[in-house]
Structures are given as C-alpha cells and as structure tokens.
Structure 1
Amino acid sequence: MHAETLLLLVLGAVAVLVAVRWVAARTGLPAAALLTLVGILYAVLPGPNITLDPDLVLTLVLPPLLYSAALDSSLTAIRQNLRTVISLSVLLVLATALVIGLGFALFVAGATLAAGIALGAAVAPPDPVAALAVGRKAGLPPRLITLIQGEGLLNDATALTILGVAIAAAQGDGFSTPAAVGQFLVSAVGGVAAGVAVAYGVRPLRRLRSDPLSSNAVSLATPFVAYLLGEAVHVSGVLAVVVAGLIIGHNNPSWASGASRLQTNAVWRLVDFLLEGFVFLLIGQQLPSVIDGLGVYETSTIVIAASITIGVVLLLRPLWLWLTEHLPQAMHMRLTDQDLDGDGEPNDGSHPTGRLSGREIVVLSWAGTRGVISLAAIFALPLTTESGAPFPDRELLLFCAFLAVLVTLVGQGLTFAPLVRALGLRADEADQARLRNLARMASVEAALARLAEMEAEEHDDVDDKAITSLRAQLTTRLNRYRKRLDLLDSAEAGEIPLSPQYEAALRLRRTVIDAQRHELLRWRDVGRLPDESLRKLERELDHEEGLLPSRSQQ
C-alpha cells in the first residue's frame, strides 16, 4: 500500500471517529458499535481495505489500551472485589474455553477438542470498552464499574495463555493437564513479577516530574517496556502491563507532579480515543476475509459451530454469575454499606457489599461484549501445523469468533444502555457528591491547620498578611462546601439537588473568565501583547476554568 493511500485511510478514519463521536454524544448510542457497523459498511464497498495483523495488535495496540485502563482503575477497589474479579477473569474464561471446546468436539463434524478450546479461549475475554463507556454515562454503581474494569484488565492474560496451550495441542504436541496448569501459573506469577519490577523500576524517574514532557514520554513508554519484558522472559506480557499500570496509577498522586498528571491524562485520553476508534473500525473491516474461507464447509456445520459459540458466550456468563453468587453464605464477604472504612462515613459504593443482586447479575451478564482481542487471538492461529498440514478448521474458527464479536459488540452494545435504564440500576449520585464534598472539606481543614502551625512557628520568610489572605480564601471555600453539603443532605431519591445560587455563581465565574479571554485577545490583535505571552495567560485562565466543577463533579 502506497504511503499516500495509507495517509488517506488514516485521515478518513480520523474523520469517521470525530463524526461517530458526535453522533454518539447526541443519540446515546455506543460509539464502539457504531464504528464497527461503519467498518463493515466500508469493507463491502470497493477500495483498499486493511487486514488485521495480530502481532501488530498484540504488540502495539493492546499494551497502551490496557495500561491506560489500569491507570484509571482502582487497585484498592479491585482488591476488595478480588473474589468476583478472579472468578470472572480466570475461572469463567477457562470454563468458556472448555465448554466451547467440548461442544466442537462432540457436535461439529471433524472438529478437534484443541481447535475448539482455541476458539473458546479467543472469544472468552470480554472487551469492557463499550460497556464501560455506556455504563459510566448511565451512572452504574461504582462496584459494577470496578468489576467490569477488573475483569477486562485480567482476562486477556488468561485467554492468551490458554490459547497458546490449545495451539500447541492442535499442532500435535499433545495436551497434558499438569503441564498446562504449570505453564499458566508460571505465566501468571511471572507476569505479575514483571509488572511489579517495571512499576518500581520507573519510580526513580519520578525526579523528572518537574519536567512534564519527560514524564509524559516515560508514561507512554512504560506499557511497551512491561510487555516486552514479560514476553522476553516467556511470561504474560499482558499481565505485566496491567500490574504495572495498577501500581503506578495507585501511586501516581505521590509519584508525579500536578503539571505532569494534567498533561499525561490529556495525552492518554487522546491515545484511547484514537486507538479504540481505529480498533473498532478494523473489526468491521475483517468481514470479507472471514467469509472468504467458508466455502469448503457445509451449511449445517457452520450453523452448528456458530450456534455453539454464540450460545456459550451468551448463556454461560449469566449462569456462571448466578451460580457463583449463590454459593453458601460463608463463602461470601459479610460486609454492609455502613462504615466499611471505620471513618464514621457511609460506604461510597466501591466496596463489596455481599452478594450481587438479580439486577446486578443481569447488567454484568450483558456487559460481556467481545472486541479486538478476540479477533487478534483467533487471527494469530497459524496457517499450518508443524507437520505442514493446514491448521484444523481455521476458517471456521475465524468466522465463529467474528460472529461472537459482532453479536455482542453490536447487539449487546446497542441495548446495554436501555437495559440499565429499564432496571433502574443507578449509582446514588447525591451520596457520591456528598463524599466528594466531605473530602474537600477535610483537605481545606488540613490546609487551615497547616497555616496555623506556620503562623505559630513564626517563619521569617512568611508574611502575616499573606497567611491572613490565604486563610480567608480557604475559609470562604470551606463555608461553600458546608452549604453544599447541607443541600446534599436534603437530597431525595439519590439525585444531586440543583441550587440556583450555586449554578448562578458558576455561570458568573465562567462569564468573567470569558471576558478576560476576550480582553487578552483584543490586546494581542492591537499589537500590545505578544502571542507567546497570550498563550501563557490563556493557560492560566484555562486552569482556572478547569477548576470549576461540572454537575457530575459536585
């Protein structure tokens, strides 16, 4: 493909991403499903197409996406929900692979157990991107968000390890259960160790935090370092990326400066937007190559294979959730919503609170959308075995995996938000806002206490007038938080109450900032202010505006 053609494809893809994001924001439809449909539409039109390269996806696309998701996750919340996360990301993935493998061996003519397990491993791990995007917008409770995130971070490593064992067995190397279990444990433990090593290996570089650009460069390189280290020592590179991201994200408040965090967060949001968008477009474009190889199969064989794959993917997940949540009560954590932290405050919803309810099981079941990792895994199947024979039923496996991705990504993706609304499963927004305001009050009170200490210590380099002025600002802010908390305490039905005075004050502050911007531009336009100075002053106003809370941040 010529460079000009590739450039046109990239520019066209960016235009599609922007357009689909605009449509998704106004219709409430998930961008992932819309992009997949656009990719399918483009695939059936004449013109150049892009074939998915599994090595490229697994090496260059998956690590940054997983790392970014890990940075935004909560290590504390995942640890508190570890039983359910491990059940979904390890045991359910294993069960899905085995059930599909047995189904192929028993009911698909000529299919082998190893080939079926390879397919099962590929379609077992859900891709949480679409579900999380919809779930956050729909206001899912924090615990469900944590479970979806935790499962999505860890299940890829499980699936790729099982896939490697299944491919080896399908190529004639034989299958040994003890050897497979040992390989999985070594891969998992080694992946965790590699991730920990990378996370603490980059810690000395925190002295670069005064330089946001250098800190940003280190952040972008970290997932690739973790992945390559894991692969180099023959353990799970995917798990190494996830563990490194969870540790660094957990310690980022103390490891990075405020300027570095602001810039790094902005860069990772852009990376996520572009990579996720390209990935979903790429999924749709695989339709022609997937269908081309089906001519050698009987229609009945295709139908049976597809039915087994889709049936297991859709039905095993809710069955698994229901069974695991109805284990004996002694096997569940007996925690309540009250004072889990011993701080006298109600639980914010991020902690485990016993068994999942029926509505939560339904939502988690419908959040199992499959994505690019399933296609990358199945496309990674070798064309031939070590003996030179064609890999058994490779084209049929490709079609079944693509169909599973299409059905879940489009079918479940488009219906996930209506399902959440119909079930009425929403987070208590007022309770979360109340917790944020309590934390704001605590931070301001700590600042006032520190001011009092400095005043008592009588530092020569600290002006009493400066302390008095700063104390007045902090006290005003503290009083504002207290008024807001009083309003939140009177909230009904979990909704954030609307304060006309508070909203008017926010509008007034934004209006003032806009007036300042216009005056600075007027100075620039009449030649009184250089552009370099304008950009510095604009950045000050941008930061000031960024401090103003949106409704979701109150």
Structure 2
Amino acid sequence: MRRRIDDPLTENTVSLVTPFAAYLGAEALHGSGVLAVVVAGLVVARAAPLIVSSTTRLQGQAVWQMIAYLLECVVFALIGLQLRQILAGLHGHSAAELTLYAGAVTFTLIVVRVLWVFPTAYLPRLLFPGIRARDPFPPWQAPAIVSWAGLRGVVSLAAALAIPLTAGAGPFPERNLILFLTFTVIVATLVLQGLTLPWVSRRLRIAGMDDDLPWLEQATAEHTTARLALMRLDQMAAKGALPADVEQRLRRDLEERARKAHAMLGPGADDEHLPELVEGAVTAAASYSEARRELLRLEREEAVRMWRRGEIGDEALQALQRRLDLEEQQIL
C-alpha cells in the first residue's frame, strides 16, 4: 500500500495505523499482538528506505519521535497508577518472598544476557569465514558493555500489561505477581545498570567508541555516494542530456560533498579499507560544523528581522527556516 501512495500525510497516517492492524490481526488469530507489532516494525523498517520519500521520512521522524515519547510516558503512568492495586493483589506473598523473587529474576536476566551476548558475538565468526572476513572479531570490551547495557523498559511493561485479566472462567494466575516483578526488574536495571553504565564504559576504556563509528560511517557514505553520482553525471554530460549551467550546478554541489567527506576521512579515503580516525580529521570536522552552525544562526536571525520589518511574509519565512533546518541536520 505504501509503495502506491504519493502523499506524505496519507502515508504517515498509514504508518500510524499499521501497528494497530498488526496487533488486532495477531490477536484474532490467537497470537501475540505485541510480537506481531515488533515484527511488523522490523519488516517496515527494512523496506522503508526503498519506498518512503524524503518528505515523508522527515515528517514521519518528527511524528514518531513525539508519539514514542508520549507512549513511554503513558505506559509508565499506567503502571504507576496500577501499582497500588497490584500490591493489594499480592496478599498471598510476604515482603521477604517478593524481595527474593525480584532479586532472583533480576539476577537471572543479567547473567543470561552476559552468557548470551558473548557467544553470539564470537561464535558466528568462528564458524563462518565469510562473516569473519566482513566483520572481524570485536575486542572483548564491546560485548562486555553490550552485556551490561540490558536495561528493561517500555517493551517489557507493554508485554506484561498485555497479559489478559482472565484465563478461562477465572482470573489469570499470578498476573499481579508478573506485573510486580516486571516493574521491579525495570527499576532495578535502570538504577543498577543505567547509573553504573558510564563507570563501566570508562573502566573498559571504550568511552567514545560508539560516537566515532557512526560519524565515520556517515562520512564514508557521503564520500562514496557523491563520487558515484559524479560518475553518473559525467555519463549524462557526455551524452548531452543536460544544459551546461545545470551540469555545473550539480557538479559543484556533488564535488563540495565529496571534498567535505574526504577531508573528514583523511588522505586514505580512496583506499578500499578506511584509515583510522585521526585527530586532524576530527578537528577539521568540528571546525566546519561550528562555523556552519554560526552562519546558519546569522541567516535565521536576519530572516526573522526581515519578517518583522515586513519585507517578507510568513510563507517565505517558513520556507527559508525549513531549508536552513534541513541543512543544519546534514552537518556531521
């Protein structure tokens, strides 16, 4: 359906309806609505880069960020409002028993995650040379920090709240206990693992590793795609398919993108294997970003002054602000 829609508002409306359709369809088949929504999200996310337009994507990102934030607030508010009722339904369990259960479940989740992450990080590379060639063995610190970053949150709460109130003729057995344990596990992991995660990261000496890799990957993609587009532009120009002024404008924009990415990647950007991130490249990227943001700020201020003086109207101001906002989002 989304492949055949060419209207951002309609397509994003469909994207909002999709989770409900997946949930209701799975429930009608006596399946897990929560898992169906997760699978639907994975499938759509895999296909979205090929079927979603740029306008739809920009609009959808803003919409879904707001919705995700509101849903997280609503889910935590629901569990907070139900906590008194849940505790009242645990009259058959003592405080010591509940504490033991909560500690055992939390400890089990943390240990099982550690035992799962390390084999999944190294075993496929040991068994399959192709995977090992594309993605070499990571340092042990990487799976270690992933193991410790197993914080529980809204997904766990949503799964627990999806448990039906009744099972057959009677209430669902130990539903209040399941909700209580889910809530305590979330609080325990957020407090224990969440607050200690920066300390663990510093101790493992991998602080900043996650910040550098996306930056390097984005610069690599910018450089590669710009060079490919320049090659295609040369072919189009050789056939005389473009006016000279159009070709020059397109070439200027693509060459600027390629030069910027090349400066960030360093002199070895043309090699098959990218060099290590060097201090000079980081400094150049930071200087460029800082200077460009300052220029964008001046442009915005001048546009607002022109609008206040009545030299431009509301629509012109909004169009210019949107262009400047999009340009700022592209700064690495």
TM range (shorter): 0.7 to 0.9
For structure 1, the residue ranges without an aligned partner over 5 or more in a row are: 1-201, 341-350, 550-554
2:316 equivalent to 1:521: no
Counterpart position of 1:468: 248
For structure 2, the residue ranges without an aligned partner over 5 or more in a row are: none
**Contact 1:521/1:534 (8 A) holds in 2:** yes
CA drift of 1:367 comes to 2.7
2:162 equivalent to 1:365: no
Q: 1:437 aligns with which of 202, 215, 219?
A: 219
For the aligned residue pairs, the C-alpha RMSD in angstroms reads: 3.6
- Call closer, same or farther: CA 1:280–1:386 in 2, change over 3 Å: closer
Q: Which residue identity is paired with 2:201?
A: V
**Contact 1:429/1:496 (8 A) holds in 2:** no
- Structure number with higher relative contact order (C-alpha < 8 Å, ≥ 6 residues apart): 1
Deviates more, 1:524-533 or 1:290-299: 290-299
- Call closer, same or farther: CA 1:288–1:454 in 2, change over 3 Å: same
2:108 equivalent to 1:312: yes
Q: 1:242 aligns with which of 38, 45, 50?
A: 38
CA drift of 1:483 comes to 2.6
Instruction: Give the TM-score, by structure 1 length.
Output: 0.51
Counterpart position of 1:456: 238
**Contact 1:215/1:260 (8 A) holds in 2:** yes
**Contact 1:317/1:365 (8 A) holds in 2:** yes
Deviation readout 1:209-246 (Å, 9 max, x if unpaired): 3x221121111111211222222223333333233322
**Contact 1:430/1:488 (8 A) holds in 2:** no
Q: 1:232 aligns with which of 28, 31, 39?
A: 28
Deviation readout 1:331-378 (Å, 9 max, x if unpaired): 74345665x2xxxxxxxxxx4x45x76544543432333334544555
How far apart, CA to CA, are the structure 2 residues paired with 1:450 and 1:322?
Answer: 44
- Call closer, same or farther: CA 1:471–1:287 in 2, change over 3 Å: same
Q: 1:481 aligns with which of 243, 247, 261?
A: 261
Identity of aligned residues (%): 35
For these two proteins, the number of residue pairs brought into alignment is 327
Equivalences for 1:181-330 in 2 at 5 Å? 202=1, 205-209=2-6, 211-299=7-95, 301-321=97-117
2:314 equivalent to 1:531: yes
How far apart, CA to CA, are the structure 1 residues paired with 2:210 and 2:20?
Answer: 38
**Contact 2:75/2:157 (8 A) holds in 1:** no
How far apart, CA to CA, are the structure 2 residues paired with 1:541 and 1:375?
Answer: 40
* Secondary structure at the counterpart of residue 220 of structure 1: helix
Deviation readout 1:292-329 (Å, 9 max, x if unpaired): 334443455445444443443343443455677797x9
**Contact 1:322/1:361 (8 A) holds in 2:** yes
Instruction: Give the TM-score, by structure 2 length.
Output: 0.80
Q: Which residue identity is paired with 1:220?
A: L
Q: Which residue identity is paired with 2:108?
A: V
How far apart, CA to CA, are the structure 1 residues paired with 2:128 and 2:293?
Answer: 47
CA drift of 1:270 comes to 1.4
How far apart, CA to CA, are the structure 2 residues paired with 1:311 and 1:544?
Answer: 47
- Call closer, same or farther: CA 1:436–1:310 in 2, change over 3 Å: closer
Counterpart position of 2:229: 447
Q: Which residue identity is paired with 1:422?
A: R
How far apart, CA to CA, are the structure 2 residues paired with 1:442 and 1:275?
Answer: 38
How far apart, CA to CA, are the structure 2 residues paired with 1:385 and 1:253?
Answer: 42
- Call closer, same or farther: CA 1:511–1:291 in 2, change over 3 Å: same
2:128 equivalent to 1:333: yes
How far apart, CA to CA, are the structure 2 residues paired with 1:331 and 1:436?
Answer: 29
CA drift of 1:542 comes to 2.0
